Amino acid sequence: MPKYALYPGCSLETGGIEYGMSSHAVAHALGIEFLEVPDWNCCGASSAHMTDHLLSLALPARVLALAETLPVTEMVAPCAACHQRFAAVEYELSRDEDLKRKVNSLLERPYTGKVKLRSYLDIFANPETLEEIRKKVKRSLKGLKVACYYGCLFVKPPKVVNYVDDPENPQAMDNIMRALGAEPLPWPYKTECCGASLGMTKEEACTKLCNDILKIAKDSGADCIVAACPLCQQNLDMRQISVEKKYGTQYRMPIPFFTQLIGLALGLDPKTLGFKKLFVDPAGVLRKVGAA
């Protein structure tokens, strides 16, 4: 039974609560065990790395050090923004002993690097788990056209996030969707930035970027955009109404998380997968796969 340390991050219990709900439900159904990192803290996100280099390493390093107390060899962070901060710790501290000492001098428990970060997408998209998923599909998503949206931070920059997928045209989520019976569309905005980090400070720029993504997905014929990052998801889902108002459009594009669609295909109840938590009504998607 695969076992991972889980770093939920601040959004899996708040803005991205349906990502948390569906992740746990799906892991249970697939026999994946998550051990939550005890007493975890916020990774500092972009606010820390814009403000202070040491702080941006020390906050996530404390979490990785705590994960080392668990009987696991790997940790996952479903939020792409958190994921990239942990990847930065591994990348920078494994190349600079002095920096590692400096960061460790800020921590109560030293970070050794014993527990490695693993891409959250990869724990589902690896060949063995994909096979397991295929075997357990009870409600095929046949006929559902999906635009897989990876966002930036799971795949960029590749040397830091250390992930084998293509940063310009990643396939992990596409492969998962295929295993569920859905049809992942070829579309050009898979890893274009949605501007979530400007949502609070330069909203008009953020709205434009969201509009571009929503428009291209709609034009590509997508029934929904599938998200892997809670910040992207919230940006495209919650702000969609502002985008529509500003650009005089009507996308009504549901933005489910990939884990919600896995759960749907495994036959789980849409309620326990948090479909009601989405802002844009996913009823069309649920009807199309016979789950409503």
Residue closer to other proteins, measured from CB, 105 or 250: 105
CB of 31 to other proteins, least distance (A): 28
- The correct pick among 5, 6, 26, 45 for binding other proteins (CB under 8 A) is 45
Q: Which stretch binds other proteins (CB under 8 A): 104-112, 129-137, 170-178, 245-253?
A: 104-112
x-or-dash pattern for other proteins, window 109-148, by CB under 8 A? ----------------------------------------
DSSP string, the chain: --EEEE--TGGGGTTTHHHHHHHHHHHHHHT-EEEEPTT-----HHHHHHH-HHHHHHHHHHHHHHHTTSS-SEEE-SSHHHHHHHHHHHHHHTT-HHHHHHHHTT-SS---S-SEEE-TTHHHHSHHHHHHHHHH-SS--TT-EEEEE--STTTSSHHHHT-SS-SSS--HHHHHHHHTT-EEPP-TTTT----GGGTTT-HHHHHHHHHHHHHHHHHTT-SEEEES-HHHHHHHHHTHHHHHHHHT--------BHHHHHHHHTT--TTTTTGGG-SS--HHHHHHTT--
Size of the site for other proteins (CB under 8 A): 56
The least CB distance from residue 108 to other proteins, in Å, is 5
Q: Check residue 200 for interaction with other proteins (CB under 8 A).
A: yes
Interface pick for other proteins out of 35, 198, 216, 286 (rule CB under 8 A): 198
- Compare residues 70 and 160 and give the one whose CB is closer to other proteins: 160
> Quick check: 152 binds other proteins (CB under 8 A)?
yes
Q: Which is nearer to other proteins, 35 or 137 (CB)?
A: 35
Q: Please, which of residues 232-261 interact with other proteins by CB under 8 A?
A: 238
Q: Which is nearer to other proteins, 39 or 128 (CB)?
A: 39
Is there binding between residue 35 and other proteins (CB under 8 A)? no
SS3 letters for 147-171? EEECCCCCCCCHHHHCCCCCCCCCC
Q: Note the residues at the interface with other proteins (CB under 8 A).
A: 10, 13-15, 17, 39-42, 44-55, 58-59, 62, 84, 102, 105-108, 152-153, 156-158, 160, 167-168, 191-193, 195-202, 205, 208-209, 238, 276-277, 279
